[in-house]
């Protein structure tokens, strides 16, 4: 991943109407807290696995329900999940269907807050498929590529949120070492 990939990703998200908070993993919970509405459900970020945040200080605020019932999920305004991969050219994020409930927590709410490590950005879809191919074959992983808020024109004019989140917010985590220099560059490019 290069700074150009991060800049392309944030520009594309801006084109899609997706807001972005960027910073080091140590600020993850605060960025999520600022982006999440009430009530909020989520999937723990510090789970094990090859694409997890197991060795990271990234975590969820205490107010996020991480063991939601069906009623909690139905009543939730916000769902918080980690994305395994981001595709810079499209502003897409890869959400894995897993036992933790990433897919329903991210797709059945009005606002989806996605946590993504900048290191997990790839430039384009061929690179995303290079990543996905072995995972799908060897680990039988199912992935949804989500790009911005849900939108459909099935009902006439463009409608947001008919088949998924009306709003998306990405929390982009940078390495602690890289956060000092690259935050200013991306924030300046985003006009913040």
* Cα 119 from Cα 56, distance rounded (Å): 13
Over residues 98-122, the mean pLDDT reads 89
Edge-first strand order for the sheet with 78-82 is: 19-23, 167-173, 111-117, 78-82, 40-42
Instruction: Provide the pLDDT confidence category of residue 190 given band limits of 50, 70 and 90.
Output: very low
More confident residue, 43 or 161: 43
pLDDT at 104: 84
β-bridge pairing 111-117 and 78-82: parallel
Over residues 157-174, the mean pLDDT reads 82
Cα atoms found within 13 Å of the Cα of residue 93, Cβ hemisphere only: 31
Per residue, what are the HEC states of 147-159? ECCCEECCCCCCE
pLDDT at 98: 81
80-89, 113-122, 138-147 — which is least confidently predicted? Answer: 138-147
Q: Does the structure show a pLDDT above 80 at 152? A: no
Q: What is the pTM of this model?
A: 0.84
Two tokens, residue 60: 């969820």
Which DSSP helix (H) or strand (E) runs through 179?
Answer: helix 176-189
Which DSSP helix (H) or strand (E) runs through 70?
Answer: helix 70-75
* Residue position matching structure tokens 């205490």: 62
pLDDT at 59: 87
Q: Does the structure show a pLDDT above 90 at 49? A: no
Over residues 111-132, the mean pLDDT reads 94
Which DSSP helix (H) or strand (E) runs through 40?
Answer: strand 40-42
Q: Does the structure show a pLDDT above 80 at 109? A: yes
Over residues 101-127, the mean pLDDT reads 92
pLDDT at 37: 94
Distances (CA, A) of 28 to 15, 62, 78, 116, 126: 24, 12, 16, 10, 29
Q: What number of other Cβ atoms are within 10 A of residue 135's Cβ?
A: 18
More confident residue, 149 or 3: 149
């Amino acid at each position: 991943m290069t700074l150009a990939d991060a800049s392309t990703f944030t520009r594309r998200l801006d084109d899609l109407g997706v807001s972005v908070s960027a910073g080091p993993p140590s600020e993850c919970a605060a960025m999520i807290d600022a982006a999440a509405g009430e009530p909020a459900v989520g999937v723990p970020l510090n789970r094990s696995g090859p694409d997890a945040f197991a060795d990271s200080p990234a975590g969820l605020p205490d107010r996020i329900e991480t063991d939601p019932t069906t009623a909690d999920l139905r009543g939730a305004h916000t769902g918080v999940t980690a994305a395994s991969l981001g595709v810079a050219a499209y502003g897409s994020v890869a959400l894995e269907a897993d036992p933790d409930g990433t897919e329903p927590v991210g797709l059945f709410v009005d606002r989806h807050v996605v946590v993504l490590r900048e290191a997990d950005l790839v430039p384009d879809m061929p690179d995303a498929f290079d990543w996905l191919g072995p995972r799908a074959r060897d680990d039988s992983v199912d992935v949804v590529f989500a790009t911005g808020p849900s939108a459909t024109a099935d009902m006439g004019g463009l409608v947001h949120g008919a088949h998924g989140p009306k709003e998306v917010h990405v929390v982009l985590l940078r390495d602690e070492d890289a956060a000092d220099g690259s935050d200013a560059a991306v924030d300046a490019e985003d006009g913040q």
